[in-house]
Amino acid sequence: MALQNQASRVIVVGAGIGGLTVALGLAKNGFQVRIFEQASSLSEVGAGLQLSPNAVKVLRQFGIAGAVSNHIFSPKYACIRDYQSGRYYLKSPLGKSVEQRYGAPYWHIHRADLHKELVQACYTAGVEIELDHRVLGYRNEKKHVTVLLDKKTEHVDLVIGADGIHSKVRELMLGVQAPIFTGQVAWRGTVPAAAIKGAEIQPNATVWAGPNKHLVTYYLRGGELVNFIAVEERSKWQQESWRQEGDVNELRRKFIGWHPEVSAVLEACDTTFLWALNGRPSLSKWHDERVVLLGDACHPMLPFMAQGAAMAIEDAYVLTQALLKYPYAQAFEKYEDLRKPRATAIQKQSRDNTGLYHMHGGWQGRMKLQALGLASKYASGIIHAKLDSIYGYDVTTLPI
């Protein structure tokens, strides 16, 4: 339960994965939590995400892993393959192997399924979720923080800004700053496995590496769906929106000549969304007196380590535990001190993978991929050393 002298009334801004997870963790430990979400309905865009062991351990601690496991697909291998020939540059076992090594499984899940289970768990834990509310401002005061919404004003003990890369809470805290376009866009979508003709999609988390672009495929919902993320380099993003409905025919043209597995997935695709992949420089601070940031609001990252959701879930656990053990000012300091170095390191690793997946340097890029394959085959310790720091990291055992 929350400490007797602890601030206990909390507003979470944003009902995404990070916001729901921290709300659940706090509510299960005696905090009074309300979520304010600007959208008019609780829904998630239809795309998959990967939950590595470091994230699954938090879901276990928060008592939701069992419900989530009803929706997952367990991949057999993590692979990097050539965009044309299909040759394996890397084939690292997942499944039981990764569970034995790290103490938790590696799951693929539809974002909407994870979101639905988190929403239900939050309601069960007593979290109130209010939709169609925009945050306009906040003011720290001696005994509370005043939150100005577009429809009302609230007075609470703490505010957690979990409102994504375009966070209004971060803007209010640190000023307006346009996101930095990384020079890459991502096409995302899901395809019924039964609709895919002419190729058998392997039950793996597969990165198809090619010149200046790559594509990721994996199964969802026990094999019912195939999820894809196709990333290409562009010099600029001219659309006002950071996300828009994409042209499926244009997407297919971008990947003409790729391996039959890739072509078969894209041929079966009816709809896709196109995202600008944006980033932000490291923030000077993550908290301001009674207000703190979480997830993409403070450390957005490219999806090239599949750790965006996992980092928000880890944040949620650390912040919950810190608030249980310390007064809020000390808790926020402890939270940032613990989370900032790890999030920054994962951001860098994600950026570095761009060059690897996109074969930067021509033949030298291919040589790097081939060297990776040799390392995985004859010096697996090199691969494990890289993954151990990510998948083997367990926030539930940290001395917070």
3-state secondary structure of 383: helix
CA 231 to chain centre: 16
pLDDT tens for the chain, 400 residues long, are 445 446 799 999 999 999 999 999 999 999 999 999 999 888 766 689 999 999 999 999 999 999 999 999 999 999 999 999 999 998 889 999 999 999 999 999 999 999 999 999 999 999 999 999 999 999 999 999 999 999 999 999 999 999 999 999 999 999 998 888 889 999 999 999 999 999 999 999 999 999 999 999 999 999 999 999 999 998 877 665 556 788 999 999 999 999 999 999 999 999 999 988 988 888 999 999 999 999 999 999 898 999 999 999 999 999 999 999 999 999 999 999 999 999 999 999 998 888 888 888 676 767 777 776 666 665 556 666 678 999 999 999 999 9
pLDDT of amino acid 5: 45
0.85 exceeded by pTM: yes
pLDDT score, position 242 = 58
Per-residue pLDDT at 180: 86
Contact 223, 274 (CB under 8 A): no
Please report the pLDDT score of residue 36 as a whole number.
98
Q: What is the pLDDT of residue 106?
A: 97
Given a contact cutoff of 8 angstroms between Cβ atoms, the answer to whether 296 and 2 are in contact is no
Beta bridge partners of 292: 160, 287
Q: Which DSSP state fits 73?
A: B
Please check whether residue 108 is in contact with residue 72, taking contact to mean a CB–CB distance below 8 angstroms: yes
Annotated catalytic residue 218: yes
Closest CA to 361 of 261, 212, 215: 212
Q: Kindly write down the DSSP assignment for every residue of 106-153, as one continuous string.
A: -EEEEHHHHHHHHHHHHHHTT-EEE-S--EEEEEE-SS-EEEEESS-E
Question: Going from the N-terminus, what domains does the chain have, and what CATH number goes with each?
Answer: 9-178+280-397 (3.50.50.60)
Using CA atoms, how far residue 242 sits from 18, 215, 245, 275, in Å, is 20, 20, 11, 6
Give the pLDDT score at 68. Answer: 98
Q: Which of 106, 138, 218, 357 is catalytic?
A: 218
Q: How far apart are CA 331 and CA 344, in angstroms?
A: 20
As a whole number of angstroms, the distance between CA 291 and CA 79 comes to 41
